[in-house]
């Protein structure tokens, strides 16, 4: 999960899907994992109890996901993308980056439906920040984390349709 939750744009579908996931994790998943931990405790020696340790690890992952979803949903802006042909959160961009063609979504990976192989760049990432506001045919450069200047030419911009 990215750290740019402030102002994260989500479609209504993504917001609903993430809200349902949060409700499931906060309710039934917490109850089920607590039951598994209790059952494993009753087996005896916790030092050598693999089931107990696996359940505790899973509980930690569930709690971390609950915290991440809570924060994301608290700061989310839920609207359909207002598409005017410019690169903005909620657009799928085809661009030539350092000579290689690439197609990606500008936004948050949480809006991409499960099973999609669409790459996602945050609008505050180096490439995302460089191209937000550009239109097809425009180009710019950005500084990569290694300090190298990288050329980007936007060749197509489309509204994201989940």
Q: Rg of the chain over CA atoms, in angstroms?
A: 20
pLDDT confidence of residue 4 = 42
- Rounded alpha-carbon distances, angstroms, from residue 123 to 29, 32, 48, 50, 96: 32, 37, 46, 42, 17
pLDDT confidence of residue 80 = 67
Helix 50-74 and helix 12-24: axis angle, to 10°? 140
- 53 and 45 in contact (C-beta within 8 Å)? no
Residues in the chain predicted with pLDDT less than 70, given as ranges, are 1-7, 80-82, 113-115
pLDDT confidence of residue 49 = 77
What tokens does 120 get? 């996602």
pLDDT confidence of residue 154 = 97
Q: What angle do CA 138, 144, 125 make, to 5 degrees?
A: 70
């Amino acid at each position: 999960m990215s750290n740019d939750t402030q102002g994260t744009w989500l479609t209504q579908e993504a917001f609903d899907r993430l809200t349902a996931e949060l409700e499931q994790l906060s309710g039934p998943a917490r109850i089920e994992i607590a039951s598994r931990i209790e059952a494993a405790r009753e087996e005896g020696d916790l030092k050598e109890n693999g089931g107990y340790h696996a359940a505790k690890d899973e509980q930690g992952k569930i709690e971390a996901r609950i915290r991440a979803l809570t924060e994301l949903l608290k700061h989310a802006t839920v609207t359909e993308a207002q598409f005017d042909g410019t690169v903005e959160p909620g657009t799928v961009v085809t661009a030539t980056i350092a000579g290689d063609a690439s197609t990606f979504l500008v936004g948050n990976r949480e809006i991409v439906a499960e099973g999609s192989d669409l790459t996602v760049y945050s609008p505050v990432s180096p490439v995302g920040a460089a191209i937000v506001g550009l239109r097809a045919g425009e180009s710019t450069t950005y500084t990569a984390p290694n300090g190298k200047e990288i050329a980007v030419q936007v060749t197509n911009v489309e509204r994201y349709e989940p």
